[in-house]
Amino acid sequence: MVDEQNLDKHRHLPHLFDPKFNLHTLWHYLSQTGLATIFVFSMFLLLYELGQLAIVAALGSSAFVVFAMPHKESSRPRYVVGGHVFCLLTGTALRLLTHGWLFKHIQVSATLETIIACSLAIGCAIFVMVITDTEHPPAAGTAVGTAIADFSVEVAVTVVAGAILLSLGKFLLRRWLRDLV
C-alpha cells in the first residue's frame, strides 16, 4: 500500500506518462489519435501522387495541434487555415524570388540554394503569421515545402483544403474532443 508521505517524496521525479492519461481518458486518446491518423493517411495519399510529401509534415503537425489540443488558440480555424494560406503564399513567393531572380545573379550550389530558400521561408513565415495574427507553428512547414518545390495548383489546393478539412473536422467533433496535453 502506498502512503501519501511516501508518494509526496517522489513527486519531483519525472513522469513517463501524462498524469491525465488513465482508463477513464483512454477513449479520448485513442479516438482523437485515430482521427488524426485517418486524416494524415488521406493527405499522404493525395500528396504522394503529387510528389509533395514534405507538405504532409506540415499538415500532420497541424493534425496534432487540432486533435491533441483542440481547445487551444493555435487550433482555431483562423490560425490553422490562415497560417497555412499565408505560409503557402510566402513559400511560393520566396521560391519565385530565390530561384527566379536571386540565384540567376548569384552562383551557389543547389544545396546552398535550398538552405537559403528554407531559411528565408521560415523567417518570412514567422513575420507574416505574426503580423497577420495567424500564428500556427506547423504552417511554417508549408512555407518550407513550397519554397523548395515548384509551384503547383494541385499542391496549393491540397494544402488549403487540408487546413479547411482539419478545421471543419474539429468543428464537427468539437463536442467530443478534449485537450490531451
Parts of the chain with a pLDDT under 50? 1
Number of residues that this document lists for the chain: 181
Please, which residues have CB within 8 angstroms of residue 85's CB and are 6 or more apart in sequence? 134, 160, 163
pLDDT of residue 92: 93
pLDDT of residue 11: 55
Domain ranges of the chain: 21-173
CB 67 within 8 A of CB 31: no
CB 137 within 8 A of CB 69: no
pLDDT of residue 1: 47
100: which DSSP letter?
A: I
Other CB atoms within a 10 A radius of the CB of residue 62 amount to 32
CA–CA distance, 106 with 98 (Å, rounded to integer): 10
Could you report the per-residue pLDDT of 120-147, keeping only the tens digit for each?
Answer: 999 999 999 999 999 999 999 999 999 9
